Structure 1
Amino acid sequence: MNETTAPVDSLLPYADWAEEALRAVAVEALEHAARRGLPGDHHFYITFRTEAPGVAIPGHLKARYPQEMTIVLQHKFWDLKVDRAAGSFSVGLSFGGVPAMLVVPFKALTAFADPEARFGLRFPAPESAAAAPLPVAEAPAAPSADSKPQVVSLDAFRRKRD
């Protein structure tokens, strides 16, 4: 076998499967928070595409964030519900003292981070390829359109035990 041969495109959708598996981590974290609340200093930064199908946010927020928005689930949120059948979650938050309910499909997510755990994920916009880890020092942002699939090692995100 010639080792200089370029890799063949797979007929199996590995990038899609990997993205869905990583998205499931964010969904599990949201379900945990919905059932039990957020323990200790854990909190979530969740970035999503506001123009994605199924996103329901008040008009004033859509006007202010026409493409992408980051919300923080920490101390003041309510009615967090995860609906796997609908493929979305809903949550109540206050914006400038005005309460609002948001509905966000899982497919609209572009980033999920828990700074307390030093854990983060970035998801591709619909036109790009695969999920990539989100460095802790970097704010959640949309990936570039030329993202390439990559193997992700979770060891870098695990806390070292003494």
Structure 2
Amino acid sequence: MSASIDYGKLMHHAMRGLIRQVLCDVRDHGLPGVHHFFITFDTTHPDAQLADWLRERYPSEMTVVMQHWFDNLEVTDEGFSVTLNFGDAPEPLYIPYDAIQTFVDPSVEFGLRFESPDEDAPHDPDPDHEPSTDGPDNTGSDGEEHHDAEVVSLDSFRK
């Protein structure tokens, strides 16, 4: 038995469980009302899966938005996969929970931030690395209009 209880590790595990439960509810029932999520994750995580062109564009971290259009949401105990639309290119992503750096639902001013022990200071995403949203086809297989995924800076949500 260890000499102390690692409350930080336990809290991070519990908060990631909360994200898992929220995503399970969204998978089963859709996003309620005006809820939407900004999820920043570490693209260098060994289990993160994303297209090569996205990894090249976002070599360390990436923020995605789950709001109007997402498809194929699958939730496991280790992470989740989802297809998001970048411009006119639907791309599947797999994001392990332990790769998540921030999870924000600005519609209700809720947010979680996961800090790693070796993190010296917060990293601001490069605003020049936003995907183009010119001319997307926002119609999904269900015939409903959908919107693109966005990569955004969380600075606008910090107080």
Matched, 1:124 2:109: no
Tell me, in whole angstroms, the C-alpha distance in 2 between the residues paired with 1:23 and 1:121.
Answer: 9
Off by >4 Å, runs of 4+ in structure 1: none
Deviation at 1:126, TM superposition (A): 5.8
> 2:93 aligns to what SS in structure 1?
strand
Tell me, in whole angstroms, the C-alpha distance in 1 between the residues paired with 2:16 and 2:54.
Answer: 24
Unaligned residue ranges in structure 1 (runs of 5+):
1-9, 129-133, 140-162
Deviation at 1:19, TM superposition (A): 1.1
Tell me, in whole angstroms, the C-alpha distance in 2 between the residues paired with 1:59 and 1:126.
Answer: 28
> 1:32 aligns to what SS in structure 2?
helix
CA contact (8 A) 1:119 1:136 kept: no
Unaligned residue ranges in structure 2 (runs of 5+):
120-153
Matched, 1:14 2:7: yes
Deviation at 1:61, TM superposition (A): 0.2
User: CA RMSD for the aligned pairs?
Assistant: 2.0
Higher RCO (CA 8 Å, separation ≥ 6 residues): 2
Deviation at 1:137, TM superposition (A): 2.6
TM-score when normalising by structure 1 = 0.71
Q: Percent identity between the aligned chains?
A: 40
Matched, 1:102 2:93: yes
- Match of 1:102, as an amino acid? L
TM-score when normalising by structure 2 = 0.72
Matched, 1:138 2:158: yes
Tell me, in whole angstroms, the C-alpha distance in 1 between the residues paired with 2:15 and 2:41.
Answer: 15
